[in-house]
Every structure is written in structure tokens, then in C-alpha cells.
Amino acid sequence: MRVKNRLMVSGLAAFVALAGSASFADDAVVLKVALKGHRFVPAELIAPVGKPLEIEVTNMDPTESEFESKTLRFEEVVAANGKATIKVKALSPGRYRFFDDYYKETTQGWLEVR
């Protein structure tokens, strides 16, 4: 009987762990941004307060980029004509800057959380 109880507890723990990881994907708000001509399109993203985010970046340029935000604490190299998805935890209201570290002068954008 003890072995059966342990198996049930182990199975329940595994289910809870999987449900928790699926929860991020289910609750996440997906935002899409493209790099084209070393500019973000759109240059401003809007997201709700308190929801995790997935930012899908499509690089339409023939050169790689480094999608970065110091305030959001991420940096991701996106291959030329490639894609990347950045997961961001739920945020407080505010305006957060992001940029392409390779082309800072022209490639800047904002994430507004409200």
C-alpha cells in the first residue's frame, strides 16, 4: 500500500509541475515585433499589467541583430532572416526600452505596460 501511495504522490507532483509550466504558456500574452531596415515594426508594444509575456521577434534584415533591454534584463541574438522568442515575467505598469545593440541609433522601441 505504501508503494502505491508513493506512486500516487509522485504522479500528482509531476502533474502539478507540468501544469505549472503550461500555465506560463497559457497565461502569457504574445507580442510580435519585426526588424526591418534596422527599425522595429511596430516601434511600440503594449501589454497588460501582471501578465507574463512572450515577445516574438522576426528579423527581416540580412544581418543578425541583438535584441536587448537593460531594464527587462534580456539580450538575444536573432539570426539574419531568423526568429526568436523572449519570455518576460509579469511586469508592473511602466515604459520599458528595448533596442538592437548592433544598431542602437536607429533600432529602438518601447514596451508600455498598462
pLDDT band at 84 (very low <50, low <70, confident <90, very high): very high
How far apart CA 38 and CA 108 sit, in angstroms, is 9
CA proximity to 33, closest of 54, 63, 50: 54
Q: State the average pLDDT for the chain.
A: 87
Whether the predicted pLDDT of 7 surpasses 70: no
Is the bond leading into 52 cis (omega within 30 degrees of zero)? no
- pLDDT value of residue 1: 54
CA distance 81 to 42: 17
Q: Which CATH number fits domain 28-113: 2.40.50.140, 2.70.160.11, 1.10.630.10, 2.60.40.420?
A: 2.60.40.420
Report pLDDT for 16.
47
Write down the domain spans for the chain.
Answer: 28-113
